[in-house]
Amino acid sequence: MVSKKIAQALAGSSVIRAMFNEGKEMAARYGAENVYDFSLGNPATPAPESVNRSIKEIVDEMDPLELHGYMSNSGYEDVRRAMAENLNRRFQTSFDAHNIIMTVGAAGGLNIIFKTLLDPEDEVIVFAPYFGEYKSYAANFDARIVEVEPDFASFQPDLEKFTGKITAKTKIVLVNTPNNPTGVVYTEETLQEMAEILRKKEQEFKTDIYLVSDEPYRELVYDDVKEIFLTKYYHNTIVGYSFSKSLSLPGERIGYVAVPDEVADAENVIAGLEVSNRTLGFVNAPSLIQKAVSRCVDEKTDIAFYDKNRKLLYEGLIKLGFTCIYPQGAFYLWMKSPDKDEERFVQAAKKYHIIMVKGAAFACPGYVRLAYCVSPQMIEKSMSGFEELAKEYGL
Ligand code: PLP
């Protein structure tokens, strides 16, 4: 018999993965070129050529005992220094190697942050709609997820509702900008105001509230939107980063956590993250890819590729009468379901071989998510199906 916790997890197993598998089945039945699968956030542009080149050079150049051996649980010192210097250059921070812990992607990073900070029953505030895995990560440490309903006009965090949700048990406020699933980038005003609210609540409750910024999409911004780094707004900010999307390396499992010295109890937090990397069984982030990303840290994925897809999909759907949130970052489009029951809408779309994810998977029913990290040809071909779908709903 599996544990009660796992039995529960299995019952609520990832909707996105289920959709992805369904897409594979449909592809086998109708031919991959006739299925329009917008379900998964798997990058659609290859990693920059310099990543592969660096891997080959590192394998040829480095002492294998050092390259493949155990190391500090935080990662190689020179790699952490390279991450710190990159952030300092871009965001005027003053990090050193000791502020950086290399992690097994953003997921590994969030889990070590949660393990380090959370006691059972502590509260983690999240803003709906949000990446569903946050729930599993909180459950790993018996913490409670507290959801804040969205502002349906803008999908910026609703700060009034947020203020009402903060309690003496709030330990973490988890934000994600650019956002999965909405594609929204938090505005300067949102971040300033959120910081002000947190400062006041820390004083009111005499507690430390950590703002945890989950930033796997940091570089994926469009139009004139600037890349932002959240530590400048609020003293108690910890950043989790990943190269999964920015360098198209999700299978390599590489990212980092950055902890500024001004964070409450910073020394213990950093030591706790290091221990958590070990005791959660990651031990350290994979060595070869640590070295590779440190050589490619100034590189970026092909933003123009995603931008083109973004415009194709957004403009195509708007023209057909669908209501979508204009995405300024990440590679997701958030669309209002024309059916009150978005699950029924998702099912209806399958008739036209279109696969999308229901909003309920992100704690926000009534909407659907379309991941446009696909080929532009697929988006173009999918439009006749969307047209049929729009007709079916009388748009
Ligand atoms: N956070 C968000 C918002 C994500 O969308 C994802 C992956 O899609 C992750 C975290 C996990 O990223 P990683 O693959 O780096 O663990």
How is residue 51 annotated by DSSP? Answer: H
Rounded (5°) CA angle 256-178-150: 120
Residue 234: the pLDDT is 98
pLDDT in tens, 245-299: 999 999 999 999 999 999 999 999 999 999 999 999 999 999 999 999 999 999 9
We find that the CATH architecture of domain 49-295 is: 3-Layer(aba) Sandwich (3.40)
- Ligand 1 atom closest to Cα of 243? 15
Is any atom of ligand 1 closer than 6 Å to the C-beta of 244? yes
CA-based nearest residue to 327, from 227, 177, 215, 194: 177
Residue 39 Cβ < 6 Å to ligand 1: no
Atom of ligand 1 nearest to the CA of 254: 15
Does the C-beta of 182 come closer than 6 Å to ligand 1? Answer: no
Give the phi and the psi of residue 368 in degrees, each rounded to 5.
-135, 155
Mutate to test the pocket of ligand 1, among 104, 111, 113, 131 (most ligand atoms within 8 A of CB): 131
Q: Residue 107: CB within 6 Å of ligand 1? A: yes
In terms of Cβ atoms closer than 10 Å to its own Cβ (0-12, 13-18, 19+), residue 79 is: buried
For 41-73, b where at least 16 C-beta lie within 10 A, e where not — what string?
bebbeebbeebeebbeebeeeeeeeebeeebeb
* Ligand 1 atom nearest residue 330's Cα: 5
Q: State the pTM of this model.
A: 0.96
Asked whether 250 lines ligand 1 (CB < 6 A), one says yes
CA–centroid distance, residue 169 to ligand 1 (Å): 26
Band of residue 47 on the pLDDT scale cut at 50, 70, 90: very high
Question: Which residue carries 């950093």 as its tokens?
Answer: 270
C-beta of 41 in contact with ligand 1 (< 6 A): yes
The hierarchical CATH code for the domain 4-47+301-392 is: 3.90.1150.10
Q: Which atom of ligand 1 is nearest to the CA of 108?
A: 16
Locate the domains of the chain by residue range: 4-47+301-392, 49-295
Contacts of 274 (CB under 8 A, 6+ apart): 72, 73, 74, 101
Interface pTM, i.e. ipTM? 0.99
Same fold? 4-47+301-392, 49-295 = no
Contact call for residues 393 and 74 (beta carbons, < 8 A): no
Write out pLDDT tens, residues 119-175.
999 999 999 999 999 999 999 999 999 999 999 999 999 999 999 999 999 999 999
Could you give the count of Cα atoms lying within 13 Å of 196 in the half-sphere of its Cβ?
8
